[in-house]
A and B are shown apart, each in its own frame.
Chain A
Amino acid sequence: DIQMTQSPSSLSASVGDRVTITCRASQNISSFLNWYQQKPGKAPNLLIYATSSLQSGVPSRFSGSGSGTDFTLTISSLQPEDFATYYCHQSYSTPPNFGGGTRVQIK
């Protein structure tokens, strides 16, 4: 099974900050990496698929990059509604595992 490791597990940031979250796969997953945002009590919401493709309706301040084993989610200017937990997810092979999550909190 492919293991997904996110870092950091949590971070504190201010509105307007640039935020970067990292996800590392235990083996090469090409570009089969997706990112989700989850707010408390709500279902996850797909932000980015296939490493860098923005899901319809997602603001352009979200972007993704990487390939192989190392991937990044960047929020260019953090907004109040972006305080949430973010998960990476590999869809290269079954089981399609998730990372442990990164909680973005208000500084």
Chain B
Amino acid sequence: EVQLVESGGGLVQPGRSLRLSCAASGLTFDDYAMHWVRQAPGKGLEWVSGISWNSGYIGYTDSVKGRFTISRDNAKNSLYLLMNSLTVDDMAVYYCAKSNTVLDAFDIWGQGTMVTVSS
């Protein structure tokens, strides 16, 4: 069974950093692109960042450029999101998701990890 499991969420003060992880199993991880998608409480889905299978493509939504860094370790079947200078606007459930290529449907999602930004 293909599974994505996020971790690393929690309560963090504004201006601080947090690193999310997504562990993949049941698939050949380096065959696929990966993404982070977030959902603020009571709001819709927002694509945050994506990375191609070999990290040749990396992209971000404008609101996180310069603050967030996506990376992957294919040897560890893992995806990461380093989030710096967090603000209350970054508070959300963060999902990792896979797609065949960067521009494909997101066919498998993790269960999400909540990031709460508060003093």
Is B47 a contact of A97 with CB atoms below 8 Å?
Answer: yes
Is B45 a contact of A43 with CB atoms below 8 Å?
Answer: no
Is A49 a contact of B105 with CB atoms below 8 Å?
Answer: yes
- Known contacts A91-B105, A96-B103: A44-B50 contact under CB 8 Å: no
Complex interface: chain A residues within 8 A of B35 (CB): 96
Complex interface: chain A residues within 8 A of B37 (CB): 44, 98
Cβ of B53 within 8 Å of any chain A Cβ, yes or no, is: no
- Known contacts A43-B95, A44-B95: A98-B45 contact under CB 8 Å: yes
- The one of B45, B59, B61, B102 that contacts A44, using a Cβ cutoff of 8 Å: B45
Bound CA–CA A46/B95 (angstroms): 14
Complex interface: chain B residues within 8 A of A98 (CB): 37, 44-47
Interface residues of B in 65-119 (CB under 8 A from A): 95, 99, 102-107, 109-112
Chain A contact residues: helix, strand, loop or mixed? loop
Nearest B residue to A102 by beta-carbon distance? B44
Bound CA–CA A97/B104 (angstroms): 12
Chain A interfacial positions (CB closer than 8 Å to B) = 32, 34, 36, 38, 42-46, 49-50, 55, 87, 89, 91-101
Nearest B residue to A47 by beta-carbon distance? B105
Bound CA–CA A94/B61 (angstroms): 9
- Known contacts A95-B59, A95-B61, A98-B46: A46-B107 contact under CB 8 Å: yes
- Known contacts A91-B103, A93-B103, A96-B50: A101-B45 contact under CB 8 Å: yes
Is B107 a contact of A94 with CB atoms below 8 Å?
Answer: no
Is A46 a contact of B103 with CB atoms below 8 Å?
Answer: no
B93 to chain A, nearest CB (A): 9
Bound CA–CA A99/B45 (angstroms): 8
Is A46 a contact of B106 with CB atoms below 8 Å?
Answer: yes
A6 to chain B, nearest CB (A): 9
Instruction: Show 16 residue pairs from A and B whose CB-CB distance is below 8 angstroms, ordered by the A residue.
Output: A43-B110, A43-B111, A43-B112, A44-B106, A45-B109, A46-B105, A46-B107, A50-B105, A87-B45, A89-B105, A91-B103, A91-B104, A91-B105, A96-B103, A97-B47, A101-B44
